[in-house]
Amino acid sequence: MVRFENVGLRYGMGEEILKDLTFSIEPHSFQFLTGPSGAGKTTLLRLMLLSLRPTRGLITLFNRDVTTMSKDEVTGLRRRIGVVFQDFRLLDHLTTYENVALPLRVKGRDEASYRSEVIELLRWVGLGERMHVLPPVLSGGEKQRAAIARALIVRPELLLADEPTGNVDPSLARRLLRLFIELHKSGTSVVIATHDLGLMDQFDGARRLVLGDRRLHIYD
């Protein structure tokens, strides 16, 4: 699904911030990406999403060499990926419900075919009473849960989540992890970047990708 071969990244003429990354994300797999603050977890997720291009090395996404792809082809592949980043990227003029439903609208689905599905997911993430409010009214944790619901609603082939439980209480964090696990059981590959060791300990079957000293260490 994702393969990195000797990938490195630098900005300008500076020193590489990530170097010699060689690993793969297999279909139907679950992994935590961890490491100290500033190690480059978010940067690595953006490389997987193709919103950043490597300075060197080869990245293959869904068995396609990304260096040979056009912008339209890259856009098409990215639609198969669910993303939860810390900036949320909610549209302020749309309600919580409309933000979560937006990926389905873009796909051309009729609202009658997905309304109950969106409402059920919003209730699961604790936003059942907030579905008709606009994002500026939401708290940081509520915005985070809305972003998670929007990423999950399309049942992506690959989910990339950057600290998805960072702004919620431990009880809700466990509930969201169960949601990620259920998504994984349905066939989605999941990559969750987190520094929460307690969260990782709740899922023994996950592989751990540890960033340190600009390199990646893998623990199965």
The residues, ordered by sequence, that sit 6+ positions from 152 with a Cβ below 8 Å of its Cβ are 82, 121, 159, 179, 183
Q: Please report whether residue 53 resides in a domain.
A: no
Residue 210 falls inside a structural domain: no
Handedness of CA 119, 91, 178, 26 (dihedral sign): positive
Q: How far is residue 73's CA from residue 7's CA, in Å, rounded to a whole number?
A: 21
Residue 117 domain-assigned (yes or no): yes
CB neighbours of 103 closer than 8 A, spacing ≥ 6? 150, 153, 154
Question: Is residue 145 included in any domain, yes or no?
Answer: yes
Q: Residue 133's domain spans which residues?
A: 91-154
**pLDDT value of residue 109:** 92
Number of domains forming the structure of the chain? 1
125, part of any domain: yes
Looking at residue 53, what DSSP letter applies? Answer: -
- pLDDT computed for residue 71 by the predictor: 86
137-145 contacts at long range (C-beta below 8 A, 24 or more positions apart): 138/90, 138/96, 140/167, 141/167, 141/168, 141/172, 142/96, 143/88, 143/90, 144/84, 144/88, 144/168, 145/172, 145/176
Residue-level pLDDT, tens digit, the chain, 220 residues:
999 999 999 988 889 999 999 999 999 999 999 999 889 999 999 999 999 999 999 999 999 998 888 888 988 898 899 999 888 889 999 999 999 999 999 889 999 999 999 999 999 899 999 999 999 999 988 998 999 999 999 999 999 999 998 878 888 888 888 889 989 999 999 999 998 888 888 888 899 999 998 999 999 8
36 located within any domain: no
In a domain, 44, yes or no: no
Residue 136 lies in a domain: yes
